[in-house]
Amino acid sequence: MQADFVIIGAGSAGSAMAYRLSEDGRHTVLVIEYGGTDAGPLIQMPAALSYPMNMKMYDWGYRSEPEPHLGGRRLATPRGKVIGGSSSINGMVYVRGHACDFDRWAELGATGWAYADVLPYYKRMESWDSGGHGGDPDWRGTGGPLHVTRGKRDNPLFAAFVEAGRQAGYQVTGDYNGEKQEGFGPMEQTVFNGRRWSAANAYLKPALKRKNCTIVRALARRIVIEDGRATGVEIERGGTIETVRANREVIVAASSINSPKLLMLSGIGPASDLMKLGIEVIANRPGVGRNLQDHLELYIQMAASQPVTLYRYWNLVGKAWVGAQWLFTRSGPGASNQFESAAFIRSKAGVKYPDIQYHFLPIAVRYDGQAAAEGHGFQAHVGPMRSASRGAVTLRSSDPREAPKIVFNYMSKSEDWADFRTCIRLTREIFAQDAFTPFVRHEIQPGAAVQSDDELDGFIREHAESAYHPCGTARMGRADDPLAVVDPECRVIGVDGLRLADSSIFPTIPNGNLNAPSIMTGEKASDHILGKTPLAPSNAEPWIHPHWQTSQR
């Protein structure tokens, strides 16, 4: 029960690090994961994505505290409790983030994490295949473990969404993960040969075939710290408490919810909070658990005037047919997450780069699998990318088995409400374009009667949902920054032999879905852990709208 490197968490970043740290065969790697196997069609079939994130078997089942600005609603906060972590229960959408997001990280003290620094790691991790659907090979990687593909976009609604954006005066982009994020275009997915290509499939399973990489199924209770140095991890399995020893380093990659929880249980966090719970303070880091960020989104739903949507499969016979086709051929509707068109736009003139994201879906349905009562319909998931609201993850007690307290503090700033109203109004304008005329019957939600600021605010308060992108709870920064938790080499400040690398360390939330940046974090952290010279920075220049200061589109 010892290894050179002990990694806590077999999720997006943890799996990538297990692969890279064991790659040359010189070091032993042990991964601690509480969750079980990812085998079975509910995880591996892309179109079944609403099932695993609602199953206790695969999800930690966290919920926020009553959110004060959302009418006291408690929002679901799924985190993967399974091999592959949240990459095994997510929507499989692949977004790198905007170049300016990472340049902002560097400005905030995450030196060496500007876009020029991280782009080579995105290229290293990808095996990109546009499937003949266009794109930008100069900006993409082709030899990495992570397969990134595009859906076929056979449904006419996918083309209608992009054309409607063009008709409304927005940019069109052939590859939002390439030079130009801004605009309407095809969405990318971590799907390969018709199955979910999670971090487990891409990284962990190949790593575990090596003699020097093993996995232990156990609950990590706390990090063992002796004389200021992390020397191991206390685990519980089968009712027995044991210690796994780390010869070189302990690496935390347990998610933006569980990583700060584990640090605090180990005595690393806000001293006053820890002392109240009787936890010995090893390192007073007031930033642990703070700076919690997420993306909220709304589903703007339209009833369809033609039976072209996925609703035709939304019955027992249809689902059985889709499932059988996928099981036997890995093809058909089951082989895609059905997010095949996307957009990134700016909310107003003076915004330098996109601050609104769209996922388009050719069915009107919620993440919990509840279809709209209207039957045939379609929807755009829309939300602001850069809310100023911040929340926190804190301990309820010193019991490692107790869920932490999660308060996102969503919609706590007045600009959040203005931004969301803008999202709704811009989406209505897009759906009103000629491209959608053959397909639109009427608006399901918010509904045509909901127009005033107060009415829209009421809809937002009642219907805004998390996009499941929590991050930022152990942010990276300069070693002398009192609120930073890790330095730019992912070393936990104040404790030797301890690193943290997952979405917790993001100083600010990047545009889009967080799986890609989380894997990139594991890739880049691996080079820091091994003492390698980071990959040479890129000279690529991303596209910025030439008239951003004076034009919204």
Domain layout of the chain by residue ranges: 1-133+197-289+471-532, 152-186+296-384+412-463
**How much is the CA Rg of the chain, to the nearest whole Å?**
23
For domain 1-133+197-289+471-532, the question of CATH label 3.30.230.30 is answered with: no
**pLDDT for res 366:** 75
Q: What is the rounded distance in angstroms from the CA atom of residue 455 to the CA atom of residue 551?
A: 28
What is this structure's pTM?
0.98
**pLDDT for res 131:** 79
- Do the annotations mark residue 92 as ligand-binding? yes
322: number of Cβ within 10 Å: 19
- Amino acid 169 reads G
Strands 465-466 and 29-33, sheet pairing: unpaired
401: number of Cβ within 10 Å: 8
Neighbouring C-alpha atoms within 13 Å toward the C-beta of 340: 24
Instruction: Give the model confidence (pLDDT) of 324-344 as tens digits.
Output: 999 999 999 999 999 999 999
Q: Which one of 3.40.50.720, 3.30.410.40, 3.30.70.100, 3.40.47.10 gives the CATH number of domain 152-186+296-384+412-463?
A: 3.30.410.40
- Which residues in the chain show pLDDT less than 50? none
Residue with tokens 């349905």: 365
Q: What is the rounded distance in angstroms from the CA atom of residue 400 to the CA atom of residue 250?
A: 18
- Do the annotations mark residue 476 as ligand-binding? no
DSSP for residue 69: T
- Do the annotations mark residue 288 as ligand-binding? no
Annotated active-site residue in 469, 528, 545, 547: 469
69 is catalytic: no
Among 349, 362, 413, 426, which Cα is nearest to 387's?
A: 413
Among 137, 18, 3, which Cα is nearest to 501's?
A: 18
According to DSSP H, which parts of 60-214 are helical?
99-107, 115-125, 156-167, 199, 205-208
Among 52, 95, 69, which Cα is nearest to 358's?
A: 95
- Do the annotations mark residue 385 as ligand-binding? no
Cis amide bond preceding 488, omega within 30: no
- Do the annotations mark residue 407 as ligand-binding? no
Q: What are phi and psi of 217, to 5 degrees?
A: -90, 110
Q: What share of the chain is helix, strand, coil (3-state, %, to 5)?
A: 30, 25, 45
Q: CATH topology of 1-133+197-289+471-532 equal to that of 152-186+296-384+412-463?
A: no
> What six digits make up the tokens of 136?
């930008």
Q: Which stretch of DSSP H or E encloses residue 421? A: helix 414-431
